[in-house]
Amino acid sequence: MGLEIYVRLFFAFAFTIGLIGAVYWLARRYAGKLGIMRTHATGRLSVVGQISLDARRRIMLIRCDGREHLLMLGPNNDLIIESAPAAVGSGFQAALKAAESPDNPTKTGEQA
């Protein structure tokens, strides 16, 4: 009876450690696809966003010194897709404000 308890304890401990490892692996693998991402905004460099293309490649948008760089990262090579000055009010709200400005000739309802 004494040995049986130790064997059961060992298998229960191994099963628990295996579950913790599986959850950790799933969290690391699928965190980018679920929108869960740690923000790295310390100093001059910050990660704005990232998308996993497949198991080996991903696209990242980083901001450094007022410029945004779109990078494709892979196992064999890294590629800069685009580099441009960072827009302060980028996004949907900035596009909406630009469309509503009175000097915009392409407003809806107006004809050229």
Mean pLDDT by 10 residues, the chain (112 residues): 90 97 87 60 77 87 86 88 72 61 54 46
Is pTM beyond 0.85 here?
Answer: no
- Helix (H) / strand (E) element for 62: namely strand 58-64
Place of tokens 């980028």: 90
Task: Output the pLDDT for position 19.
Answer: 97
**What pLDDT shows up at residue 31?**
72
What is the per-residue pLDDT for 42?
60
